[in-house]
Amino acid sequence: MPLTKKPRKEPLYKLLDQMAQKSGLRHTIYLSNGDKYTGEWLNDKKHGKGTQVYKKNGALYDGEWKYGKRCGFGTFSLQQPVSKEYRKVYSGEWKNDKKDGYGTYFYSDSAYYEGGWSKDMRSGWGRMYYDNGDIYEGEWLEDKHSGTGMLLLANGNRYEGSWKEGKKHGPGKFFFPSKGQLYEGVWAEDIAKCGTVVDSGRERAPDPTMYPIPKVHLEDVSAVLMEAQNCLKGRE
């Protein structure tokens, strides 16, 4: 008589573990570190849309998740110490729990960056508004100006050209609209090495740079007249 094997049953602990795994939309769940999460799950991992409040710093993330990590579009906010209201810090794309893609980061009420991100750092094309009124628009690499970009200063002057590691480096142009001048040359680590200065819209400049003609004074007027008269007599 042939031997037959009965199918082995799954251990009870495995079945209980599968039944306990969170999938789909769930109510607020408190995590072991004190954080609380409200949203969608897949195989016991945050997946889909959800909101998490972090106990350590009172931060709040509201957006998309993928296999337990922030991934997709989401907004990160911080709780204000006095008012307890949330202030939006970053709104944009995420990947593997880091800012990655296009997004806007608010440093203060007047300073913010909008543009590309890679692994939590400004990278790609972006525009930065500074507290002092300066504006940079151009390429970034690892949180620094790098490539081609334009820096518009609060006083109206601007630089257009090459950058490297946050400094003017390579060929570039510096415009002085108030003076009606343009400097064009080569830069190295924020220092102009060689170039030329030319007029650029000088007739429209509110405070144009003047090029006064030096006054000529004769030391001995009588001697000059005498020499001129002698020259004329010599030609007669």
Question: Per-residue DSSP letters for 115-171?
Answer: EEEETTEEEEEEEEE-TTS-EEEEEEETTEEEEEEEEE-TTS-EEEEEEETTEEEEE
φ and ψ at residue 141, rounded to 5 degrees = -150, 120
Residue 127 confidence (pLDDT) above 70? yes
Q: Where are the domains of the chain?
A: 20-106, 136-215
Question: Tokens at residue 153, please?
Answer: 């200063």
Residue 132 confidence (pLDDT) above 70? yes
CATH class label, 20-106: mainly beta
pLDDT higher for 136 or 194?
Answer: 136
The alpha carbon dihedral of 185, 189, 193, 198 has a sign of positive
Q: CA neighbours within 13 Å on the CB side: how many for 3? A: 1
**What pLDDT, on a 0 to 100 scale, did the predictor assign at position 195?**
87
**What pLDDT, on a 0 to 100 scale, did the predictor assign at position 135?**
98
Q: What pLDDT band is residue 16 in, cutting at 50, 70 and 90?
A: very low
Residue 13 confidence (pLDDT) above 50? no
Residue 12 confidence (pLDDT) above 80? no
Mean pLDDT of the chain: 85
The per-residue pLDDT for range 73-103, each reduced to its tens digit, is: 999 999 988 888 999 999 999 999 999 999 9
